[in-house]
Chains A and B, each alone.
Chain A
Amino acid sequence: MDVEISTRVPSYPEIAAIFDDVFQYTEPLTASTSPRDVERWDSLQHIALVQAIETTFDIKLSMDEMMEIQSVGDIERILHRYGV
């Protein structure tokens, strides 16, 4: 099950665009893509990521959600929660 989830491509194509934009990361994304894989994903760029998600999907994330985002899968789960 884990394997299946981690190899799945993100269901939001916008996420790949955001990763390209914010981190200049163009490798294929999976749900398990995390700061370990993305060199520029540090604590400062995390803010740029959150801002990009907020403006792209027109949502406002909470402090908890900001912490919750540790991988692409986390972003997807949050977006599902917002129903976007």
Chain B
Amino acid sequence: MAIEAAPECAHRRAILPSVDWAAVASEKVAAMLGAFEQAGVPCPLWLAKAVLVAGHDITGKFELPTHLRVLQRVNRFVRDGEGGAEIDALVAALMDDDPIEADIVAAMIKRLLESSPSDVVRRLALAHAHRTHDLQRLAASHLQDSVGALPAVRLRLAGFSTTQLFGDPLALAFAAAGWRGSISQAEYGTALAELSNPTQEHDAVILVSDLAGFAPLDWRNPPDEEAQRLSERVDLLGSALMAFAERSRVPLLINTIPCTGAPGAGLLDGWHAVGIRRAIEQINRRIFEVAAASANIIAVDSDIALAELPVARHVDHKLWYYGRIAYSADATRALARAFAHAWQLLRRGPIKVLAIDFDNTLWGGVYGDDGVERLQCGHDFPGNAFRALQQECLRLRSQGILLAALSKNNADAMTVFERHPEMVLKKSDFAATAVNWDPKPQNIREVAAELNVGLDSFLFIDDSPQERDAMRRACPEVRVPEMPGDPAERPVWLRRQVATWPVRLTGEDGARQSYYAAARSATEWKASAGDHTDFLRGLEQKLVVSPLDASTVARIAQMHQRTNQFNLTTLRSTEAEIAAIAADGASGLVLHGRVSDRFGDHGIVITAVSEINGADAVLRSFLMSCRVIGREVERAFLGEVLKSLASRGVSRVFGSYIPTAKNALVRDFYQSCGFAEVESGEASGTRWVFEIFGTEFPGSPFVKIVQEQ
């Protein structure tokens, strides 16, 4: 077998890469590794990784990178309990969004969750849950144990498209940020209605925005008109957000529209009236404006949230067409995480103190060895990377974060800032200094006492893995991210440290002045759309009711198959069954309704199948797409159905409500439309009758019935 001839086969990369290592006996693996050692050939890294991920041990004198070394320790611990005390500390170092490969960390989490699911391990699972489907699943399987002690937060989730798939990733992301989130979903596509009706039952509203859901474009219209429609829609959103901010006690978190890789006007996309890029920027600018004008509106920048995901993978297009799902699973996880981070910052605030190491962190080289002159920091390579990190420290200082020097050096190392001509930071920029040879955990406690700031408000950055490790063990409250080894990566890395992001900055009062305009339009909105009924009036809805025909039967059957919420009987009729009822002109009547509003056409969204028997008729099914729930379309449509039946000589119309797990929404629908309850002969559900004579037909002032041309 190839495994015995390991060194040669591995070298040629024949066979071995495809081996399912989990299925290979550990003796064989040991024999293979032994063969490498005897031949004096290093075990290739990819092979070491595959073997460790499969759960085997690696013995012998192989050099392993840090993450594989930790996995090796985990494997040994799981196998024979060896080194248990160390595991938590090793794992704690992997909490950050660290460059550890997803399959390596997944292998660790899986094994540790199965053998000894400690709090640290569950936190590790949550910390990486956003990265892959597998990791999300692992974290989700232990979510209940993880969130027990966390503070609760009640979230209201709304959007312009389907938000159902956001629920689980959001709960996980909030758990990773330290919150036990309970999520209530708004009805489909009712984001604007939610804004005009703020409830008092939630701690935050999360509004998921996406371009296709928010601003569907119709190229039948002249470009100018279409651009005008978009502007109106943006105004409506801006006003609704401002009105929400003024009325609601709780914050609203809204994501911006992410950039597109598919232009609508080619090279003109950024400026032309019909450019998609231009549309995105127009919407986002308004979102940022209201965020600047109100502390209750938090704009979550999708481009930052999705920075590590290729644009082409933001959307899984088949899911959009299948169920108006605007974001791929990967993008959903990333956005959910960004929302959770925003909430965390909003509630806990950013760090207050940045504690910084000197040698090889703020400058290249070691002061004690190299002397001042040879320290790297300046305008030339490679000192410019260190100088850039100092600039970032200065930026954080200007945003209100205190700088603390935390260096193992003689005290005169502080003079470097004065003696080295190119240092950006000056001695006076540091609010506290601890430059001595004492352990850093001891120093940071003294600095915390001196500044009167809790350790949980500290971020500690140090290039030395040993110092980071020591800090994590001694002061678990201090945030200790894994700093990249390459100084070139560090300035941007520091900018991406969410814990340093400001929520509010002093001096923004000036910026707010320019957003009086937005506040003014909110007042106008209040006047024009003060409550939900005004919102409905503003929609200018139109309903066209037509009988079934050959071109619509497939859509009607599909609605029967798919509709769960607004569905009185949940009868899963097929195309053939519906066509058969409609074909019998004397006793069958299948009507459907097409709804449009000032923002566009929703298509066929509502249908009713009825059977007529003399003066009695029965509504076999009555259902509506969740796209238009909460807009009184159902009342207007039912009225039209009843009138149509009346014109056929019907005097009594019967309907049933058959409860399912999902249709509680319509339990009282018939009652609210003038039906009276009759004895139900059935075990479950209720039966209703509408007396054509003597009862007012249901309808809605917000839905205009339009006769088909």
Contact = CB atoms under 8 A, between A and B. Distances in A.
Interface of A: 21, 42-44, 47-48, 50-52, 55, 61-63, 66
Contact of A55 (B133, B317, B319): B133
22 contacts: A43-B323, A43-B561, A43-B562, A44-B164, A44-B323, A47-B165, A47-B319, A47-B322, A47-B325, A48-B165, A50-B319, A51-B316, A51-B329, A52-B133, A55-B132, A55-B133, A55-B134, A63-B317, A63-B318, A63-B322, A66-B318, A66-B322
A63 to B, nearest CB: 4
A51 B164 contact: no
B188 to A, nearest CB: 11
Contact of A63 (B165, B321, B561): B321
A42 B564 contact: yes
A61 B561 CA distance: 22
A47 B133 contact: no
Nearest to A43: B562
A48 B317 CA distance: 15
Interface of B: 132-134, 137, 164-165, 316-319, 321-323, 325, 329, 561-562, 564
Contacts of A66: 318, 322
Nearest to B564: A42
Given A21-B137, A42-B564, A63-B318, A47 B132 contact: no
Nearest to B321: A63
B323 A51 contact: no
Contacts of B562: 43
Given A61-B318, A62-B318, A47 B323 contact: yes
B322 A51 contact: no
A25 to B, nearest CB: 15
A61 B564 CA distance: 25
A44 B319 CA distance: 10
Given A47-B325, A55-B329, 16 more contacts: A43-B561, A43-B562, A43-B564, A44-B164, A44-B323, A47-B319, A48-B165, A50-B319, A51-B133, A51-B316, A52-B133, A62-B318, A63-B317, A63-B318, A63-B322, A66-B318
A66 B321 CA distance: 11
A43 B562 CA distance: 6
A14 to B, nearest CB: 12
Nearest to A44: B164
Contacts of A42: 564
A44 B564 CA distance: 10
A61 B329 CA distance: 14
A48 B169 CA distance: 12
Nearest to A42: B564
Contacts of B137: 21
A43 B165 CA distance: 12
Contacts of B564: 42-43
A79 B618 CA distance: 46
Specify which of A50, A51, A62 lies most central, judged by the most chain B CB atoms within 10 Å of its CB: A51
Nearest to B134: A55
A54 B323 CA distance: 17
Contacts of B316: 51
B309 to A, nearest CB: 15
Contacts of B134: 55
Contacts of A51: 133, 316, 329
Contacts of B317: 63
Nearest to A61: B318
A77 to B, nearest CB: 18
A40 to B, nearest CB: 10
A50 to B, nearest CB: 8
A24 to B, nearest CB: 11
B459 to A, nearest CB: 34
A21 B168 CA distance: 14
A48 to B, nearest CB: 8
Contacts of A47: 165, 319, 322-323, 325
Specify which of B132, B319, B561 lies most central, judged by the most chain A CB atoms within 10 Å of its CB: B319
Contacts of B318: 61-63, 66
A63 B685 CA distance: 37
Contacts of B325: 47
B532 to A, nearest CB: 27
B212 to A, nearest CB: 16
A63 B78 CA distance: 43
B201 to A, nearest CB: 24
A34 B137 CA distance: 23
A45 to B, nearest CB: 10
Nearest to B164: A44
Nearest to B561: A43
Contacts of B323: 43-44, 47
A55 B316 CA distance: 13
Specify which of A44, A48, A61 lies most central, judged by the most chain B CB atoms within 10 Å of its CB: A44
Nearest to B317: A63
A44 B317 CA distance: 16
Nearest to B141: A21
B187 to A, nearest CB: 15
Contacts of A21: 137
B543 to A, nearest CB: 25
B663 to A, nearest CB: 12
Contacts of B561: 43
Nearest to B328: A51
B392 to A, nearest CB: 36
Contacts of A50: 319
A55 B562 CA distance: 25
Contacts of B322: 47, 63, 66
